[in-house]
Each structure stands twice: as structure tokens, then as C-alpha cells.
Structure 1
Amino acid sequence: MAPSSPPSPSSQTDFESLGLLPVLCQTARTLGMKRPTPIQQEGIPALLQGRDVLLPSQTGTGKTAAFVLPALQKLAHIKEKEGTEDFSTPRILILEPTRDLAMQTAGICRQLGRQLSVRTRVICGGVPRAQQTRALAEGADIIVATHGRLLELVDNGELILSELIYLVLDEADRLLDEEFSESMTALVPYMADRPQTVFCSATLPEPVMALARKVTHDPVRILLPEESVTPRRLRQRALFIEEHEKEKTLLTFFTQSLPQGRSILFVKTKHRADALARLLRRKGFNALALHGGQTPGERKQALARFQSDTQNILVTTDIAARGLDIEDIQLVINVDLPPKPDTYVHRIGRTARAGRSGRALSFISVTERGLLREIERHINHRIRIVTHDTLQR
């Protein structure tokens, strides 16, 4: 596995220098992407050369565009070579761990590919199967999917993967459960011999590397400059507190000093998310809930309202910890600590994105102190403990 060298500040400062088509460069700039990010500077040329690539998944790095832009260019070249505008079977497959991430990634594919004749279809649970099969019958160039519904359609012959040239496993460290492993094993015989593969993961422990070795060949591993586990401009604090005092303390905190921007509150369960959002609304705060118990339409509406600033507090489960593109988060509060340190890193990564500053506050009950120690070992950083009197600082 060949690691890339982090780009120097003076290297490759525009999209044209990466080898992208002018139409893709122009679209990127139209969407506000003035210059390629470090991960794009290193990842896009390697992918255009046909290499398998391991991309880090830190938030705010431009990772999705780093694998979507080369995919679009490859499609454009193949269509020109074959003299066709439409494919009856997909050439690009992007696997996502959740339907929300699948919908978001598909949206980015459509935005970046809007000047090209590219059809992107989403295949995931929670959507009527007949609706998806009708779309597939009209043809598809890019499939963005979750593995369960994808395998179901492939098994029934309603989706053909034999022409794939490009495979993306996004958020791969979330795709290690037994069900996914079984799905991948079942899907491999249906795919092309060996499509070019992009493997995206925030962490690369041995189980993740074992999967990477299984699906990639001699990959280039992209290293970000000054890569660290947590954002550099993120101020982390923790408050030791009794479990039954968490809601009261939270209300006092917001009453005394409501952050000017958006805040995300992470809790353990969807029921707790609903209850806490209702409590905040009763006390006069703009708050809403987001969790896996909602329909895709309800979650889409909640995110739209949150991002429009009509609601400035989002109470959510770990469904919002990774991947979802939520801009300008000023504060993350872990009302409940997650069971795994990696999830803590993803949660607080919602703020301090792309060089901005941000705050992360965690409420630590007696039973969660062991989790705090695990998190500190994982991030190699001691989180400052504050008191109720210094909570606002």
C-alpha cells in the first residue's frame, strides 16, 4: 500500500491541474468549490489514473467530491468511446451505511454531474421497492445504495452489476457488521471481475484493513496534512453530573447563554431525542428531533428546517454523527456519551469543520466516566473538566 505525500501549499491550486474535464471544473466552481481541498488534490489524480484509493473520512475535507468527480469523468469518457448517452446497466456503485447518507451522496452526484448526461439512482430500504425498480428500468449510470435492498434487487435479477467499473465503499468502518459481510460475499459474483475501488474510512484498525485488503489491490492511501483524530480548533469540555440532572443543567445552560449559531445535542435513543426536543420547545427554544424512527421524508424535512435557521437546536441520535452535511455548527453537546470512542470523534466532528472553530461539551454521569477515559486514550488528549460555575466559558 503506497501512502501519498500530503500536498504542499503551493501545489495544484485549481481543478484543471488535477486533470479534470473543463465542464467538471466549471461545475465545481459554480457550486462554490473555489480550489481543491488537500484530499481532492491527492485523491483525484490517483483515481483518474485508475488506482484503488484509501480516502480518510474526516468531515469537511471534500471527500465525497474527491471520489465523485473522477467517477463522472470516467463515465463521460466511456460514453464518448461507446457513442452512447445512456447505459442500461450501471457502471458506478457507491455503497453507503444508511439511507440518509445514500440520499445525500446521490444529491452530490447529481449536482456535480448536472452538465453531463448522467442518471443517478438511489437504492435503499424505507422507499417503495416498485418505485426503485421503475427507475432502474429506465436505465442508470450511477447507483448509490445500502447493501440490503441492493442485494435483494440483484438476487431477483432486477439490477445487473456485471458492467461495473468503479466501486466506492463509503464510511467503510461502519460496514463491518456480519450482515454487510454476508451481503458483500453474495454480491461479488454479480460484479465485474475487479472494478476500480475507493475505500473511505475514518479509522483503519485491523478489521477495517482486512476488509480493505479484500476489496482493493495495491491501493494508494491518502494522508492529510497535519492529520489528527479531532479538529485542531475544537475546544472540548466535560462536566461531571448526575444522570437525573442532565436536562435541568441543559436548560440552565441555554437560558444563560444560547449559542448564536446552530447546536447539535446527541442522545442515546430516539425516544430520548423526541422527549428532549419537546422539553426544549416548551421552554421556548427552537428545537427539533432527528432519529432513525422517523421516515426519510420526516428526516429530510427536519434537516432542511435546521439548516434554514428556523430551528437552531437539533436533538439527535448517532444517525447524525457521520457524513450528513450540516454546515456552521457552533456547539455539540453529548448529553449521553456514545459507547465507542470512534463515535465520539464523529459526533464532535460536526463542528470546527474546514478550519473553523467550535465547541464540544459532554455531560458525564458516574456510569460514563469509564467511557470518558477510553475516549481520552483514543484521541490522545485530556478533556478539560469544568464545573457548573465555569460551564459557559
Structure 2
Amino acid sequence: MPVSIEELKALQAQKKEAAKPKFISKAKRVEMAAKAKQNQQNTSEETTLKDIRSTTDLKRSVVQETVQTTKPPPPKAKAKTTSGKFSFDWSAADDTSKAYQPSYSIDSGEGQAPKRQKRDLEDAHWSEKPVDSMSSRDWRIFKEDYSIVTKGGGNIPNPLRSWNECKEIPRIVRDTITRMGYKEPTPIQRAAIPIALGIRDVIGVAETGSGKTASFLIPLISYICELPKLDERSKVNGPYGLILAPTRELAMQIKDEAVKFCTPLGFKVVSVVGGYSAQEQALAVQEGAELIVATPGRLLDVIDRRLLVLNQCCYVVMDEADRMVDMGFEEQVQKVLASLPSSNAKPDSDEAENLAAVSTRRYRQTMMYTATMPVAIEKLAKKYLRRPGIVTIGSAGQAGSTVTQLVEFLNTDEKRKRRLLDIISKRQYRPPIVVFLNYKRDCEAVSDALVAAGWRTAIIHGGKQQEQREQAVQQLKRGAVDVLVATDVAGRGLDIPNVSLVVNFQMANNIESYTHRIGRTGRAGKRGTAVTFLGQEDDDVLFELKQMISRSEASPNNQELSRHPAARMKKLQQ
């Protein structure tokens, strides 16, 4: 219902009346002020309580919302495992690397990487290091790994790690080494070649079949490469290099190996050995050759007949020097060495150990190889070698660690024949097989017994012509025969690959010959077996034989040999 005009007028009149100022006494004003203050305090307390309640309610609502909106994580799926077995499976949810937050600066390790690399290199095995980073400790471990022992005054160079690291070997010689299939140097090659390349005399003591031939051929040919080529004028003064060997067979094998090295270089190799025409050999020598391989007897004969001179010979190698002494060639060897020019002999002083001193002129260099070191060899070395570096691989006079040595006591030849046939008939050992005896007549008898049992045989002894002996060796190498029956003439130098078994039908007269007999097997790192038949006639060598077998890790101790009275004490020399 609309307001009437009278009501509007009445309201306006009231507002005007209220807008007029009114007089209020002091007492009234004090009363009104006190009342207003009380009302203000009450209002403030109510506001504070409301704020507290609203804040508490807000927090409670936030917590409730968080609880309601946050869902618990689903349970991890467990990998199925077989009862009793450990499970190697893991869930991707277990990976905590995503939450990784480093608490330190990346720059805190600045400069540490080179130090760590240096420390890691120092701790690495020698095979993982460059040769320039090898420490004295690394070289000591290297020598232990290859059973290398070096002695001698002056500075003995470190061994050879690989062919490519030896820059002293001419490039063309290294290429020949690669072409011939030499992959890794053998221990004697690692130790002897650096010493010889340092223009120093060398004594090498190593087991048979250890790669000795290449260990003296490589430095010898490297030496010849630095000399002038032979011409019509210089060839009459003889060869640059001379190699002496105890037997024709060994000399011919060395020659064959030397030809492989020398042919690519344009060098000529001539052999001077018995069993061949002296006229043909003299003609070959007069035509000129950088290298001569010879036996002492035939070489001395050619020198005495003035068919050969050694006026410019500056490199001499004596292979299997102990065998040459055993065979009675010591005097002949000394005569050959005495025919060498004295003008190029090294001084017997500290100068011979100094590379800088000996490299100022062409001194003669001498290398001697032996499997044993008897007194006669020590005297020979002292007389003709100057301050040599001595290299020992393994133990002097010890058979290779790849040969298993077995012994059996059998007194009669008939028992030994039956046992020999029994051993090889089991087919445990595949041809080629070598049987050693002491006498020519016994070789024929044993060969006949083998042939009767169906084995193909060849015979080598001192009564055979040179052509017959070479033919027998070639037949064995080709597989045309199964068994080689031989005397000690084949005990040295014959390099027949893959001989699985050596049988000493009769024990050798001394331990040195025994060592070289069984050295026909287990060559070039391959394993082999040596069986020796013993009798009453072998008492003199039983003590040394027992000692050798006991030092061999590859050979079992024989109780019968250990208990034998003759093996308990070394027999005194009469």
C-alpha cells in the first residue's frame, strides 16, 4: 500500500527535528561515553572468537579435503617366483634415481679426472699399458710371467713385449717375421733379442724347442743389414756372420730357417758341413755369402785348406755349445774362433757393457746358446765373450715344463720291447714318435720288432749316410713313417713338429743328453710325454734324474726311483 502524503510530511518533520542540535549535560556525556566503551569491548571479543572459529574450521576442512582427495598408492606387483629360488626381478617404481637431487656443486670434482686416470694406469696390468708407461714393478712381473732371469753388468735392456714395439729391428726384417707367421715372441726371443740389438755379447740358457734359432737369427740379420753389400772385391774376405752347430742335421735346419729371413733381403746363406761334397761347398763359399752355417770339423778343414777366410766376420753364434763340448769339438771350436780377426774384438772392460762406447766402431759380437752350463762352457765363454748379458729361461739344465717325464725299471731288452709295443699300441700317442737307443746294433733290432707289429719305421745313427739320415727325417715329417728309431745323433737339433712321445729305450749316459733327447717333444708350447726304461747300468745318473723329475711340475714322482739306493746320493766321480 503506497505511503500517504501526510505520512511523508510527518517523517520529514521528524528528521528536521532530529537534525537540530540538542544540549546534553556533562554527566550525561560521561555516562554515554562509558556505555559506548563497554559496547566496543564486547564487540571486539565476539569478533576475535569468530575469527578463531573460522580459522579452525578452515584448517579442518583443508585436512578433510586432502584426506579425501589423496588416494593410497596401489600395492606393488610382486614378481612370480619359484618356491625356494631368489627373484632377480624388480619394479620400475623402485627406481629412486628420478628423485636424486645432488646437494653439492658439480665443480667440486674439477681437476680430479686426470689424477684418477693416472692412478688407474699405474694400477693396471702391464699388458694394458703402453711400453713407455711400464714401471720397474711392471717389468719385474713381466719377467716372472715368462720365467725370464737376466744377469750381467751394465744396463740390461728390458725384454721385448711384441714385434711391433721393437723399432731397432729393421722394418723389412719385421715384415719377414710377420710373413713367416711369428705372432708372439717366445721367452728366449723376448729377452735375448733386445740385448743382442744393443751390440752386446749374449749367453742364452734355455730349454730345447724354445725358439732359440730366431732369437739369434733376427739380431744377426739386423746387424748385417747395416753393413755394405758384398761385391766382387769384398766377398773374398769371407762372410759377415758365422753360425756353429754340433751336428749336420742341426746346421741344415738353421740354414733352412736363415734362408727364409735372408732371401727377401738379397743375402746368401751357405752351409759347410760333413756328408756333402767338399768341392761344391768350397765353390759356394768362394762365390760369396753373407752368412755361413757350419759344423766345427768341416769348417776347420775348409779354413786349413785355405778355401775360406774370416777376415771380415763380425758376428759369431755358437748354438748348443755344451753339445759341441760333449762331442769333443771344444778344441776345434777354439781353433775356429782363433782364426777370427783380433782387430774387431771387443775390449774386456766396462766399455763392452756400454752401448754408446761399442757403437762407435764395428766390434765383433758373439752369442752362445746352451741348455746346460758345465765348467767347460763357462771357461769357453770367459775366454771368447766380453762382458755378456746372461739370459736364463726357467732353470739351467732342466727339461721343458711341457714335457711329462715317466720312468719304468725294466732289466731286459725283451721286457722293454713288449712294454714299448704296449705303450704305442694303445693309440694314446699319435705319430710321430721317437725312440732313442745308445748303440747302432740295437736300433736295428728294435726297428724290426716294431715293423713286425705293423709300424712303419725309419732309422738314424752314425752308420747311416747323410742322404739316408735326411731322407728318414723327411719321411717322419711327411707322415710316411710312424716311428723314428735313433741314437743320440738325433737327440740334438732335429726339429720335428708335433712329436707326441719320446721313449728312451736305453737311458742316456748323462743327464745333459737325456735333457736333449726328451726335448724332441713338448716343443713350441705344445705338450709331450717322455718314457724312460731304466736298468742296473743306469745307477750313475739316477740321482740327477730324480732331481730333474722332482723339479718338473708336469711330472709325477716315481716311488721306485725315489727309494732306489743310487738315487739317494750323487755318485762321486772317480
The answer to whether TM tops 0.5 is yes
Max radius of gyration: which structure? 2
Alignment of 1:239-278 (within 5 A): 239-244=408-413, 245-257=415-427, 259-278=429-448
Match of 1:107 in 2: 256
Change (3 A) 1:258 1:47: same
For structure 1, which segment, 16-25 or 100-109, has the greater mean C-alpha deviation from structure 2 after superposition?
16-25
* CA distance in structure 1 between the aligned counterparts of 2:234 and 2:249, rounded to whole angstroms: 27
Q: State how 1:153-172 maps to structure 2 within 5 Å.
A: 153-172=302-321
Q: Provide the rounded CA distance (Å) in 1 between the counterparts of 2:431 and 2:157.
A: 33
User: Of 460, 477, 499, which aligns to 1:307?
Assistant: 477
Q: Which residue of 2 aligns with 1:25?
A: 174
Structure 2 residue 291 is the aligned partner of structure 1 residue 142: yes
Specify which structure has the higher proportion of strand. 1
Letter in 2 for 1:293: G
Amino acid across the alignment from 1:167: V
Give the Å deviation of 1:87.
3.1
Q: Taking structure 1 as reference, are residues 236 and 215 closer, same or farther at Cα in structure 2, changes over 3 Å only?
A: same
Is the alpha carbon distance of 1:37 and 1:319 closer, same or farther for their aligned partners in structure 2, counting shifts above 3 Å? same
TM-superposed deviation, 1:263: 1.4
Whether the 8 Å contact between 2:205 and 2:391 is mirrored in structure 1 is yes
Structure 2 residue 280 is matched with structure 1 residue 131: yes
Q: In structure 2, the residue corresponding to 1:175 is in which secondary structure?
A: helix
Match of 1:357 in 2: 527
Structure 2 residue 507 is matched with structure 1 residue 337: yes
The match for 1:2 among 130, 143, 152 is 152
Which residue among 175, 192, 213 is the counterpart of 2:324?
175
Tell me: CA distance 1:290–1:258, structure 2 relative to 1, closer, same or farther (3 Å).
farther
Structure 1 174/149 Cα, relative in aligned 2: closer, same or farther at 3 Å?
same
Deviation per CA, 1:250-303: give whole Å up to 9, x if none. 223333445224211111112222221222112101222122221221111111
**Cα distance in 2 for residues equivalent to 1:284 and 1:55:** 43
Q: 1:28 to 1:256 in 2, by over 3 A?
A: same
Paired residue for 2:270, among 95, 114, 121? 121
Taking structure 1 as the reference length, what is the TM-score of the superposition? 0.90
2:384 is aligned with 1:215: yes
CA 1:321–1:69 in 2, change beyond 3 Å: closer, same or farther? same
**Aligned-pair distance for 1:157?**
1.5
**Deviation at residue 43 of structure 1 after TM alignment:** 1.3
In structure 2, relative to structure 1, the CA distance for the partners of 1:118 and 1:16 (3 Å cut) is farther
Percent pairwise identity: 30
Q: 1:260 to 1:83 in 2, by over 3 A?
A: closer
Match of 1:384 in 2: 558
Aligned twin of 1:238:
407
Moved more, 219-228 or 167-176: 219-228
SS at match of 1:114: helix
Give the letter aligned to residue 166 of structure 1.
Y
Looking at structure 2, the residues matched to 106 and 24 of structure 1 have their Cα atoms a distance apart, in angstroms, of 17
Aligned-partner SS, 1:279: helix
Q: 1:201 to 1:6 in 2, by over 3 A?
A: farther
The aligned residue for residue 62 of structure 1 is 211
Q: Is the 8 A contact 1:7 1:225 kept in 2?
A: no
* Match in the other structure for 1:282: 452
Q: For residues 95-141 of structure 1, give each alpha carbon's deviation from its aligned partner in whole angstroms, at most 9, with x where no partner exists.
A: 11111111111111101112011111111222111111111121121
Task: Using the TM superposition, name which of 161-170 and 173-182 deviates more.
Answer: 173-182
Contact persistence 1:262–1:329 (CA under 8 A): yes
- Give yes or no for the alignment of 1:205 onto 2:374: yes
Q: Label 1:179 to 1:249 Cα distance change in 2 as closer, same or farther (>3 A).
A: closer
Greater share of helix:
2
What is aligned with 1:45? Answer: 194
Match of 2:498 in 1: 328
* Cα distance between partner residues in 1 of 2:409 and 2:539: 8
Deviation by residue 1:203-251 (Cα, 9 ceiling, x = unmatched): 1122211111111000001132677812223222111112232112222
With over 3 angstroms needed to count, the CA separation of the structure-2 counterparts of 1:228 and 1:202, relative to structure 1, is: closer
Mapped contact 1:122–1:144 kept (Cα < 8 A): yes
Letter in 1 for 2:190: Q
| Deviation digits for residues 132-187 of structure 1 (CA, Å, limit 9, x no counterpart) | 11111211211111111211221221101111100111111122269533324433
68 and 282 in structure 1: CA distance in 2 versus 1, 3 angstrom threshold = same
Counterpart position of 1:391: none
Aligned to 1:348: 518
Q: Read off the aligned partner of 2:391 and give its amino acid letter.
A: I
Question: Given the superposition, is the C-alpha separation of residues 231 and 190 from structure 1 closer, same or farther in structure 2, using an over 3 Å criterion?
Answer: closer
The answer to whether the aligner puts 1:87 opposite 2:261 as a matched pair is no
The question of whether the paired residues in 1 share the 8 Å contact of 2:373 and 2:396 is answered with no
Is 1:366 the equivalent of 2:536?
yes
1:331/1:351 contact within 8 Å kept: yes
Partners of 2:400 and 2:326 lie apart in 1 by 28
Partner SS, residue 353 of structure 1: coil
Q: CA deviation at 1:328?
A: 0.9
The answer for unaligned runs of 5 or more in structure 2 is 1-150, 346-363, 562-574
Equivalent residues, number: 384
In 2, distance between residues paired with 1:165 and 1:6? 22
The Cα of 1:5 is off from its aligned counterpart by 7.6
By how many angstroms is 1:78 displaced? 0.3
Deviates more, 1:291-300 or 1:138-147: 291-300
TM-score, scaled to structure 2: 0.62
Change (3 A) 1:321 1:298: same
| CA distance in structure 2 between the aligned counterparts of 1:228 and 1:379, rounded to whole angstroms | 12
The one-letter code matched in structure 2 to 1:173 is: D
**Pairwise CA distance, 1:349:** 1.6
Q: d(CA) in 1 for partners of 2:334 and 2:400? A: 36
